[in-house]
Each structure stands twice: as C-alpha cells, then as structure tokens.
Amino acid sequence: MKISVLYYPHREGHNSIFPLFAFGPTLKDAGFEIRFYNRTDTFQKTSADLLIISGISLQKILAGKISSQQFILECKAFNIPLIYLSGSDSTGPLDKNILSNVDSYLSRQLVTDRGLYNKQHRRHHFREHVFQTHQFKNQEDFPLVSYSEEEIKKLGVYWNLGLIDWKTQTTNKALRYFYIFTKNNQFPFSQPVRPLSQRNLDFSFRGNLFKNTHDVSRFHRLKSYRVYQKLAKKFKTPTGGIVPHKEYMSEILNSKICISPFGWGEVCYRDYEVLQAGTLLFKPKMEHLETFPDFYKKENMIFYDWDAVDLKEKIEAVLDNIKDYEAIAEQGRDSFLSYTSGPKAKLSFVSHFQKIVNEALFNFNL
C-alpha cells in the first residue's frame, strides 16, 4: 500500500510522525510504502492509496495562504482515504471542520468512554469535571461542545509523546535540527540507571504553574505542588527555579520519585522522561483515558486522586519503604523500552498502524 505523509520538519512536526521513520523498515516489510512530503503541491500530486496529514504541521506548511479546512477539502476531493493526526494536548477539543471532512480523526489520547463526546462539555473531559464543582473566571471562554455518533465513529488514537524523537528534546537548536535533517531515525539507546535506594533526591517536581491565570490547569497543578512544598521541608528535593534541560534530566535521574500532574492535558513529556530514567512516576488517575502505547498501568507507576488528597500519604509510604517500590520503577522503565527498542516494539507498532489503516479504509468505504 502506498501512503503519503505531509508534515513540517520542525520539532513538533517531526515528532508527530517520528515512529513512521523509526519503524520504517518494519513497516515496509509489512507492505507499507511510505513517502514523506513537506510541501502541499508535491503532496497533492502524489500517487497514493492513503493520505496522512500531521495537524500540528499545517500552520507552518500553509503559512496563512489558505485555511486548514480548505486544504483538507482539497485533499478530500482526490477521493482517497484521508487520516488527520490532531496535535491536541488532551482528549479534546476536536475540530469539527476537519472531523467532518476526513475518514479518520486521530488524537494522541481520547476518553475511553466515547459516549462522553455525545454529551455537552467544555473543551475536554477533565476540564468539564472540574468546572462542574468549581467556578473559574475563564469558564465562559470555553463554549459547550458535543459530537454526533457519525463524528465519534471517525475518532481513533495514533501514538502519544512516548514515541517522539527524544534526541530532539534539547535546548541546543542546532543539534535539534541536525537530528531532524540527517534522518537519525532511531530512538536513543537506553543508559544504565541506579536503583531508587541509591539516589540522593527523595522526590522532584518542576513544572509550569501557569502563573497569572485563573484556570483549571493551574488549579489542578497547585494541589499537587502544595503537597510537594509541605513535604520538601521533610525530604530532600531540588532547589532553585528554572534549570537547563540537561540539569533537569540529571535531577530526574537522581530522584526516587517524580510527580507529574496534568497540564494542558493529561499526558505530558515529563511522564516519559521519568519512565526512561527508571524513576518512580506519581501520576493522577488515568483510567478514563485511551492512548498508545498504554504505559498507564498500576504495575508501572503510582496513581493518586485528581484532587491530590491522598498524595502526601502515598509519597511518605513509598519513601519510608523505598526498596519495596523499586520493582515498580524498574517495570515502568522496562515497559517504556519495550515500545521503543527490540523486535516486540517493531511488531507492536506495525500492528497498531495496521489497525489505524484498516479503520480509515473501513470509514472511507461506508
């Protein structure tokens, strides 16, 4: 099958389709001939059986010449199955103008209960949950939305931030683009890490607190951060403000625990930085969410309530018996590596990609 992919070669665009590079040889062996394009004219002239568009790339590619909706309509006119990869940070919002004109609208994560998309909500499920119990100054900035059964049938999950090109997560811009343009299309090799009991920092959390906003994201993160502040008086934690990325990663490697509350969405880069480091990840409960790969299992991390009422107790319990939790941190790291290296990772991704293609073909032929 011939597949044409449109993306822009900046970090976000590159990362949105990176697994197609990393697992390219295996995908080819499975019968997928994938070609990549950075320009709309060459992309639209291609001979293909299926089209994939990186949504996070469109603004850069179109450069204001036409709207994303108009471009999607032009692609739809070719009468070829069309897949759109949303760049949304959460389980919503979904762009109805795009959704109505593609065969598959894929997100990095979706609500497992698709019926929730039928109900009116503001932006995404977690935000609506908080709005139901608290009042925010910006609440009316998020209009109520819902989606039809026909629209919901087009929804699916592609791959989350765990499968990005981690080599590009550097503040060195020249090095970042070196990796992108030289097509160094491999996940970084794993490095040995120390057991939790041999690490100097008890726990860490560095994250945006969305200052000067009155918003759900700030409200949620502050609940975790206030627990962090209280426990920092008792346990050893990093000090100071913002640090360079290299120092930040060093802190994670030297921490027993890292807290990763939700941000603009539930999933964030920190989740996977922590898993790679073999650090014990503390994450708000994620059973409402579907994503791929699904690292969010109790054998890989410690979950706590969305309002963080049990966070202090759980952190203290772990730090009082750290050796009892080393197996969970190791399993979290092993789970991450199982999707980025080795034959199982290749087969797992190809199987997932085949499912994505099959669903797009099915929707196209309806």
* pLDDT average, residue stretch 81-102: 96
> What's the pLDDT tens digit per position in 94-123?
999 999 999 999 999 999 999 999 999 999
Burial of residue 259 (number of CB atoms within 10 Å: 0-12, 13-18, 19+): buried
Q: Which two tokens stand for residue 136?
A: 């925010």
pLDDT score of 151 more than 90: yes
286-295 pLDDT, tens digit each: 999 999 999 9
Asked whether the predicted pLDDT for residue 348 surpasses 90, the reply is yes
Specify whether the CB–CB gap between 302 and 283 falls below 8 A.
Answer: yes
- Quote the CA–CA distance of 57 and 52 in Å, as a whole number: 12
For 298, phi and psi rounded to 5 degrees? -65, -20
pLDDT value of position 211: 85
Q: Say which range, 88-102, 169-183, 309-323, has the weakest mean pLDDT.
A: 169-183
pLDDT for 171 equals 87
CB 325: neighbour CB atoms within 10 A? Answer: 18
pLDDT of residue 191: 87
Token pair for residue 23?
């697992």
pLDDT at 27: 98
**At residue 67, does pLDDT exceed 90?**
yes
Residue 237 one-letter amino acid:
T
Q: Does the N-terminal peptide bond of residue 93 adopt cis geometry, omega within 30 degrees of 0?
A: yes
d(CA 267, CA 158): 14
How would residue 241 be classed by pLDDT, with cut points 50, 70 and 90?
confident
Query: What band does 129 get if pLDDT is binned at 50, 70 and 90?
Result: very high
Domains and CATH numbers, the chain: 2-164+343-364 (3.40.50.2300), 190-338 (3.40.50.2000)
Q: Measured between alpha carbons, how far is 218 from 224 in angstroms, rounded to an integer? A: 10
**Spatial distance between the Cα atoms of 221 and 44, rounded to a whole number of angstroms:** 43
The two beta strands, 50-54 and 104-107, are unpaired
The whole-number pLDDT of residue 101 equals 97
N-term to C-term CA, the chain: 20
**Structure confidence at residue 240 (pLDDT):** 85
Quick count: other Cβ atoms within 10 Å of Cβ 282?
Answer: 25
HSE at residue 138, side-chain half, CA atoms within 13 A, is 12
Segment 42-49 mean pLDDT: 94
pTM to 2 decimals? 0.96
**Over 90: is that where the pLDDT of 184 sits?**
no
